[in-house]
Amino acid sequence: MHKYLIIINRFSGGGRVRKYESVIFDYFSSRNYVFKVEYTKGSNDALRIAKEYSSSDYNYYVICGGDGTINEVINGLSSYSKVLIVLPFGTVNIFAKEYKISKNINKALHEIFNGEKKQLYIGKSNGKKFILMQSVGIDSYVVKCVNHNLKKLFGRGSYFLMFIKAIFLYKYPLIKIRANNQEYQGTFILVSQSIYYAGFLKITPDAKMDKGLFDICLLKKGGFYYLIKFLLFVILNINHRNKDCIYFCSDNLLVSGPAIYSQSDGEISDELPLDISIYNQKINFLVPNPE
């Protein structure tokens, strides 16, 4: 018998989930599903909850939150027989966009429970797991500068506001990368399993979470001109023509440089250096059938 642990992050996405809790509970109750609800109380609490229930007979985790909440749950797992279900209530919800999970929660539940189980790779950076991406550069600087109050006030717009500020403040330090027995250097690196970035940009359009390889984008030069050129090429979907970028795939790489922070699945993460690789365990997700 399936048992469902519903993990609710009421802080995610400005607290949007609060309006839909009864919808979620009614769905499970009306089908006589066995479920239990746990609320996060702060940062890394979803990690604690996932870890606490890893040895329990709750074999499905229903994650009500954003990409950061998914990241915490993944890092709390010690049993990879669990099946994860994602209901998008975050600020950006990249995972949901990748797998076309509707923001209409009734529709999302219907499509997920009539969907398919997929085994997805996850990444590991200095021992910490991620599902979507790890990056270093101006974006990680922006993520570090955006605090909870700013996100609550402006939502996704808080990142745009901080990005405008970062254009004038960020110094573009040089980052060194070693992968595939080669060495590279640049000012921004994205190590991705996701097509989408920031919810709408397609920096790594060939990336897939069931590929077993990272799609990597490295911007070689720094400064206002090269950043704007990079963004224009991405927006126009001609980013592979940008001679200031290097694109390649790898299942492991080393990233070094000055002590600047990285971002992982939209949340601030470790300082350099980073040892990044594909994790040796896949994770089960229940997602809608592809169209």
Number of domains in the chain: 2
Within this chain, do residues 184 and 94 fall inside the same structural domain, yes or no?
Answer: no
Is the same domain home to 196 and 145? yes
Sheet-wide strand order for 182-186? 128-130, 123-125, 274-278, 252-256, 175-179, 182-186
Domain boundary at 114, 137, 172, which?
114
Please write the tens of the pLDDT for every residue from 107-140: 999 999 999 999 999 999 999 999 999 999 999 9
Q: Is 259 helix (H, G, I), strand (E, B) or coil?
A: coil
pLDDT of residue 161: 85
In a domain, 105, yes or no: yes
Q: Could you tell me if 65 and 158 lie in one domain?
A: no
Q: 291 pLDDT exceeds 80? A: no
What is d(CA 263, CA 21) in angstroms, rounded to the nearest whole number? 30
Give the per-residue pLDDT at 13. 83
Q: What is the pLDDT of residues 154-200, one digit of tens each?
A: 777 788 888 888 988 999 999 999 999 999 999 999 999 999 998 89
Boundary residue ending a domain (114, 139, 164): 114
Mean pLDDT for 87-101 is: 95
User: The whole model's pTM is what?
Assistant: 0.93
pLDDT band at residue 148 using 50, 70 and 90 as cut-offs: low
Pair (132, 271) in one structural domain: yes
Output the domain CATH number for residue 263: 2.60.200.40
Residue 17 lies in a domain: yes
Query: Tokens standing for 274?
Result: 């980073």
Taking the CB of residue 178, how many other CB atoms lie within 10 A of it? 14
Residue 78 backbone zone (phi > 0: left; psi -120 to 50: alpha; other: beta): alpha
% pLDDT > 70, the chain: 97
The answer on 211 and 156 residing in a single domain is yes
Q: Is residue 290 part of a domain?
A: no
At residue 232, what is the residue type?
A: L
| Nearest alpha carbon to residue 139 among 2, 7, 275, 262 | 262
How many residues comprise the chain? Answer: 291
Centroid of chain to Cα 196: 10
- Token look-up 């919810």 returns 199
With cut-offs at 50, 70 and 90, classify the pLDDT of residue 79. confident
88: pLDDT strictly greater than 90? yes
Asked if residue 232 has pLDDT above 70, the reply is yes
pLDDT band at 15 (very low <50, low <70, confident <90, very high): confident
Q: Does the pLDDT at position 146 exceed 90?
A: no
Asked whether residue 43 is assigned to any structural domain, the reply reads: yes
Q: State the pLDDT at residue 149.
A: 66
**Residue 99's domain spans which residues?**
3-114
The string of pLDDT tens digits covering residues 197-212 is 988 999 999 999 999 9
Query: Helices (DSSP H) in the chain: which residue ranges?
Result: 21-30, 45-52, 67-76, 94-98, 105-113, 138-145, 148-154, 157-169, 224-235
Share the mean pLDDT of the chain.
94
